[in-house]
Structure 1
Amino acid sequence: MLLCDIGNSSASFLDDNKYHSLSLDEFVNFQSEKKVFYISVNDRLKELMKQKAHFVNLEPYFKFDTIYKGLGIDRIAACYTIEDGVVVDVGSAISVDIMSNRMHLGGFILPGIASYRKAYAEISPRLKCELNTQLRLDAFPQRTIDALSYGVFKGICLLIENATHQQKLYFTGGDGQFLANFFEKAIYDKLLVFRGMKKVIEENPQLLH
């Protein structure tokens, strides 16, 4: 079974248990002889996807209990196998979604870590630097790189903690493993979105034929 999650900067694949990704430029020319089940948040590729043979859009098959308007299919897929907990997808943006008894209670979106770094650089050349990923958040910073990093990571973590209320935390996405390190009981699952896609296919076995 070949699964594909198309984002705003890349397309990720799960071929049975093998994971790999392509840039969007590479994905445009990607062809497959076997059926590819996909979700996509990339509006620019909508027409292209209609032309790609063997590609099946899973979005219409998700049955998700929420009153949230405009919830992205990537967020739905990430939450789809979670009964209770907070799902944090850390990519080009950071989405935080709260699940209770398989019901989506709502959520919020933050800029991704790279976007914070870019915003600092646009304020002043002196603020253009890599963030300190080894920073401790229990002491006030004493140099600029740490002050920038603290502002980013502490702010993100406090918002997530405020939404958690002792629930389990599930992290996914490219920077998910890093951000999960700031929380004691966080679970990092690189394949969380793909697990949601697999569940939809199990619920709709006719898709395999």
Structure 2
Amino acid sequence: MIRMHSLTVAAALAIAAVPAVAQEHNTGLGKSNFSYSTLGIQLGKVTPDEEIVFLNEVYEDFGAAALNGSFQVADNFVIGAGASAFANEGNRTEITSSSVNLDLYIPVPLGDRVDLIPRIGYVSSEIELCADGLCATEDDSAMSYGLAARIWAVPGSLEISGGFSDTNEAESESVTSIGAALWAGEHHRFALNYDASDSFDAVLLGYSYNW
């Protein structure tokens, strides 16, 4: 099932036009406190609030992985993209959920330690259920948005963060996130993040290279 296709294309075209706009205009918001040109990976676990029972097989948690990257076009314009998935399998069944996203971030510095980061974009997702070698899939797409904050607890060494995200799907659940990261020099970032919604919790460990 595909939804919001025309809006998704419009969002992609709008985001694609940002580099030219950013190069021609200075927003006057000031230089961000963090670098947003980055390439990273995350690994972790997703735990549903309630066990999922599929053909008498019980799923209590799922392994999760994500790849993401972004490019800071200007001080206050960042384009990002990512792909993520979580999955698990039983003796007869398997459940896999995957998604890809494209986003525009506007980092706004608040003083010399804090960035406030509004975000808009779109996400396309798919869930696949398999039993005895037979699989069924359902997919969807939606506009997405969020707001996050990044704070230098110890400048150059320790970062803390938090925020929320949601989509315009009718039954969408907002996701609240908190995290902390250790920096090894200017380029290497090691992060621990916790995400929560009404139906799941996720814990992710991540590494990113920043420039």
What TM-score do you get using the length of structure 2 for normalisation?
Answer: 0.24
The structure where helix makes up a greater share of residues is: 1
What TM-score do you get using the length of structure 1 for normalisation?
Answer: 0.25
